[in-house]
Amino acid sequence: MSKDKVAFISHRKSYFHRMPFPKPNIEAFESPLRTQIALNYLEKQCVLDNTIKVKAPKAKLEQILLVHSAYLVDSVSLMSNIGAGQLGEASYASPGLLRSALLSAGGAVRGSEMVLSGEVKHAFSFMRPPGHHASSSNPMGLCYFNNIAIATRRALSYQEINRVSIIDFDDHHGNGTSEIFYSDPDVQLISIHEYDYENFGLGHYAELGYGPAKGTNINIPLLETSPNVSYETSIKRVIGPALERFNPDIIMVSAGYDAHYADPVGNMDVDSQIFWRFGDFIRKIVETVGAMGSIWVLEGGYNPFVLGPSIHASLEGLVGEDVPKLDDQIKRERFQHIIDANNEVLDKVLETIEPYW
Ligand SMILES: [Zn+2]
């Protein structure tokens, strides 16, 4: 059986943007080092040997404007020219920002175009800065241009694409992507993330979408320290059925790896086995719903030494390989009360969303 072709999209200039902080500022984790070390790992382990390697092009201005306000685009450009300053919460400018941000968006768009032209079945855009926190007019949370939203709008501009599903498994809620598509019935967003049930915040399952789009915005807010099994259950009970109901023509994946137990930013307890599972699941669901393929866009993942193995696992799942045995897959303490509480959350998610299916 010949394997589906996968494109791996990267660019050295994605290293140019650098947060203006010394460690241990939280922003300093989104550094050039994370992708450099991860890429070294992927190359040394020969993970990319069977992929089609592609250099990310710069996104065109009109592609950025499919999602963002002219004011945001201008702000990123002006502040990048100044080379310093704050654009939004936890989003800072650097001299390399505009270049890196345009390439990051361009990588995602190129991924869309390659899958839509039938060149490959799946594409992985391995670029930074990430995008899923950026709303139509506000950079925030280390994000400037919402790469996956731009790639989604690009896909929707093709005649054969009427519906797009976005799966966001980054540790954090994809608030920017949610805002952008909240009233759009053609885009389904399923975000599975860590949720703080003591302080609350956006990303609750009560956010369903607006008007004709009600039911297309699905949040799976899991508790802190959620293990692999809670993600597995979420795939089976919510993500799979939701995708089958929506029946997308193409699937986008906001691939953030900060739910890893060794991540310095996220507080979940998963390892590379669950990132393999997402690859395996997406490959199968693409077939089930008859979608053209999937486009993966790198979001978070801030421990550079587990980012490479995590992406390795996803890519193996995506081409139908067994779960690779990797060093991070160690036995950890099991907290049954977290698993039980997450099962109740999933009951609530289904109760809330099912009337709109
Ligand atoms: Zn994140």
All structural domains of the chain, each given as residue ranges with its CATH number in brackets, are: 6-356 (3.40.800.20)
DSSP string, 207-243: ---SGGGTTSEEEEEEPTT-BHHHHHHHIIIIIHHHH
Q: Summarize pLDDT for 111-130 with one digit per residue, the tens.
A: 999 999 999 999 999 999 99
pLDDT at 27 over 90: no
pLDDT at 296 over 90: yes
Please state, in angstroms and rounded to a whole number, the distance separating the CA atoms of residues 209 and 146.
19
CA of 52 to the centre of ligand 1 (A): 27
Q: What is the pLDDT of residue 12?
A: 86
Q: What is the pLDDT of residue 283?
A: 98
Q: What is the pLDDT of residue 94?
A: 95
CA of 168 to the centre of ligand 1 (A): 10
pLDDT at 284 over 80: yes
Q: Is the dihedral of CA 233, 271, 304, 13 positive or negative?
A: negative
Q: Summarize pLDDT for 72-112 with one digit per residue, the tens.
A: 999 999 999 999 999 999 999 999 999 999 999 999 999 99
Mean pLDDT, to the nearest integer, of 40-46? 97
CA of 160 to the centre of ligand 1 (A): 32
Among 25-34, 80-89, 184-193, the least confident range: 25-34
Q: What is the pLDDT of residue 298?
A: 98
Please state, in angstroms and rounded to a whole number, the distance separating the CA atoms of residues 22 and 344.
41
Catalytic annotation, residues: 133
Mean pLDDT, to the nearest integer, of 201-210? 97
Q: Summarize pLDDT for 125-147 with one digit per residue, the tens.
A: 999 999 999 999 999 999 999 99
Strands 122-125 and 91-92: unpaired
Q: Summarize pLDDT for 51-70 with one digit per residue, the tens.
A: 999 999 999 999 999 999 99
Please state, in angstroms and rounded to a whole number, the distance separating the CA atoms of residues 268 and 112.
30
CA of 256 to the centre of ligand 1 (A): 6
Look at the block and give the residue holding tokens 């190359």. Answer: 43
Q: What is the pLDDT of residue 324?
A: 97
CA of 302 to the centre of ligand 1 (A): 9
CA of 244 to the centre of ligand 1 (A): 26
Mean pLDDT, to the nearest integer, of 282-299? 98
Mean pLDDT, to the nearest integer, of 262-267? 96
CA of 118 to the centre of ligand 1 (A): 30
pLDDT at 28 over 90: no
Mean pLDDT, to the nearest integer, of 335-343? 98
Give whole-number Cα distances, 178 to 131, 136, 185, 336, in Å. Answer: 12, 10, 12, 31
Q: What is the pLDDT of residue 16?
A: 85
Q: What is the pLDDT of residue 2?
A: 63
Please state, in angstroms and rounded to a whole number, the distance separating the CA atoms of residues 114 and 109.
9
CA of 170 to the centre of ligand 1 (A): 5
List of residues 6+ apart from 286 with CB closer than 8 A: 121, 122, 251, 292, 293, 294
Q: Is 217 exposed, middle or buried (0-12, 13-18, 19+ CB in 10 A)?
A: buried
Q: Write down the mean pLDDT value for the chain.
A: 96
Q: Summarize pLDDT for 248-258 with one digit per residue, the tens.
A: 999 999 999 99
Give whole-number Cα distances, 351 to 87, 346, 348, in Å. Answer: 39, 8, 5
Please state, in angstroms and rounded to a whole number, the distance separating the CA atoms of residues 301 and 130.
10
Q: Summarize pLDDT for 158-183 with one digit per residue, the tens.
A: 999 999 999 999 999 999 999 999 99
pLDDT at 22 over 80: no
pLDDT at 214 over 80: yes
